[in-house]
Chains A and B, each alone.
Chain A
Amino acid sequence: MTVAVIGASMTQFGQRDVWIQELLSQAGERCLEDADVAPDDVDHLYVSNMASGEFEGQTGIMNALAHDLGVMPAYSERVDQTSSSGGAGIYEAWQSIASGASEMTLLVGGEKMTHKTTAEATDVIASITHPAEYKHGVTLPSFAGLTARHYLERYDAPRESLARVAVKNHKNGVNNPHAQFQKEVDMETVLESPIVADPLRLYDFCPITDGSAALMFTTEEKAQELTDDYAIITGIAGATDTHVVHERDDPTVMGGVVESGKQAYEMADVGPDDVDVAELHDMFTILEFLQMEGLDFAEQGEAWQVVQNGETEMDGRLPVNTSGGLKSKGHPLGASGVAQGYEIYKQVVGEAGDRQVDAETGLACNVGGFGNCVITTIMEAGQ
């Protein structure tokens, strides 16, 4: 069964004064409205969220949301795959429609984080690491620092090339009314910002964010009955890499990106040259290079040159992170993969407003942990 996306919503990303249940409800309600679907028509409800229990003490949020939106007795489930919970939610939603188990599936992703200090939020996220890593105080930002140094030294890439990612994504975020930062930054600001994990600095990292996003899925047949503008999920796959990051053969290769990308391309019967727009998981600037290489948008060790050449700018051959990326849009863990889907959906149906690029085929790569779990999704405009 071909799976279509017929509606999408996202809330303001940033520091929000509502808690997880309300955040999820806001995105869910708006998505029902956007898709013009009645709550009674929802068969499955998935909630992408990494850590509402750890952040807020609230568990069972799929049930809470089902009740608040009045979608009972729909099947409901919370999807946790750390930072790729949103992508995993897209995969679950796709499976529910493709298998025939559901005819109408609502996916809502969200996270409430900003009430914690940076140190506390970093620790919640660092708890995904192996005990042998955690006891040394290893954090996700420190993995980024370790990998960035290795990449720059091995490929003789200039430090400025990483800063270019931050500058580009902040520039794109200016046109995203939902982004946490709608503000440009210049190279000097990035390169002189405080060191977080040497050689990476503050502007190489995404912020801590509250926010939510939602997508509505149905069969292509049903989509054609309901709307003229819909997207098709033509390729989707997930893959897992090692839990212990240093056990990977090559620190600059994210196996989950490579494998999920390969499978998604095969399923969609497209290649990297066919992709018109991509949302990559730029939790750290270095990740944009690693995903570009893992998805064959660039040769290994050469993504930095592609970025330096401007090929991933809005007017380049492959615009990357037209939404502003996690870097400027923000990264509410469970919402991020859904928000990537929101952007690609908007781009392929031609509703991306000031961010619109010429796109019929879009790709989203949602990365959990430090490449530990990855979902790659390819969407195309419906006919």
Chain B
Amino acid sequence: MSFDAHRCPNGHVTYPGHTLCPECGEKQTETIDLADRTAEVVTWTTSMATPPGVREPNTLAIVEFDVDGQSVRAIGQVTTDDVETGDDVEPVYAEELREPGEGIKEPESQDWDGYRFQPTQ
């Protein structure tokens, strides 16, 4: 699996992708894999009241990647609750981020694998 950000011909990058670029309305035509890059924690929380099928507690972070000088943010689970704003993190693949079918969404309606963020130090 890859951790794909999406880029339009005008160079705007988003994660996740959209049908048309939210910035300029062009089609996003290119993907950039973020899986081997590091990011910086913008903010984080530890959620204690989680929905069905989600680990409890669930530490989450918004992180920022630098893609050719452009900042691209992503949200995801953190591998530990020992995290601080400003920490460097790297994506770590997980086959199942939450248990499909436990929550309200149809299991087939979306992917359930993805990347958690692990502090690099």
Contact = CB atoms under 8 A, between A and B. Distances in A.
B partners with A: yes
Interface of A: 54, 118-120, 122-124, 126-127, 130-139, 141-142, 145-150, 153, 194-200, 242, 244-247, 251
B43 A138 contact: no
Contacts of B43: 146-147, 149-150, 153, 251
A135 B60 contact: no
Interface in B1-60: 14-16, 22, 42-55, 58, 60
B51 A198 contact: no
Nearest to B50: A137
B110 A134 contact: yes
B119 interface: no
8 contacts: A119-B49, A124-B104, A127-B105, A136-B114, A142-B47, A149-B44, A244-B14, A251-B43
B97 A119 contact: no
Top 7 A-B residue pairs of the complex, sorted by shortest distance between their CB atoms: A145-B45, A137-B54, A123-B51, A131-B110, A150-B43, A132-B16, A142-B47
Contacts, number: 127
Nearest to B77: A136
Contact of B73 (A137, A197, A247): A247
B120 to A, nearest CB: 20
Interface residues of B, number: 39
Nearest to B49: A196
A123 B16 contact: no
A137 B60 contact: yes
Contact of A130 (B16, B51, B61): B16
Nearest to A243: B18
B85 A153 contact: yes
B60 to A, nearest CB: 5
Nearest to A149: B43
Given A123-B103, A246-B74, A135 B110 contact: yes
Contacts of B42: 150, 251
Most buried by B among A131, A148, A242: A131
A142 B45 contact: yes
A136 B76 contact: yes
B22 A137 contact: no
Contacts of B50: 119, 122, 137, 139
A118 B49 contact: yes
Contact of A135 (B14, B45, B114): B114
B16 A198 contact: no
A103 to B, nearest CB: 40
A176 B112 CA distance: 44
A141 B49 CA distance: 9
B60 A142 contact: yes
Nearest to B51: A123
A82 to B, nearest CB: 14
Contacts of A137: 47, 50-51, 53-55, 58, 60, 77, 97-98
B75 A245 contact: yes
A119 B110 CA distance: 21
A246 B47 contact: no
B82 interface: no
A194 B97 CA distance: 25
Given A138-B60, A251-B62, 15 more contacts: A119-B52, A122-B49, A126-B103, A132-B15, A133-B75, A135-B113, A136-B77, A145-B47, A146-B44, A146-B62, A150-B85, A153-B43, A198-B48, A242-B22, A246-B62
B111 interface: yes
A138 B62 CA distance: 11
Contact of A134 (B14, B77, B105): B105
B74 A135 contact: no
Nearest to B97: A135
B13 to A, nearest CB: 10
Contacts of B45: 142, 145-146, 148-149, 197-200
Nearest to A130: B16
Nearest to A201: B48
Contact of B46 (A54, A148, A194, A198): A198
B73 A196 contact: no
A147 B16 CA distance: 20
Most buried by A among B16, B97, B111, B112: B16
Contact of A136 (B15, B52, B97, B105): B97
A194 B104 contact: no
A74 B110 CA distance: 40
B93 to A, nearest CB: 13
Most buried by A among B44, B48, B113: B48
A131 B60 contact: no
A301 B104 CA distance: 37
B52 A123 contact: yes
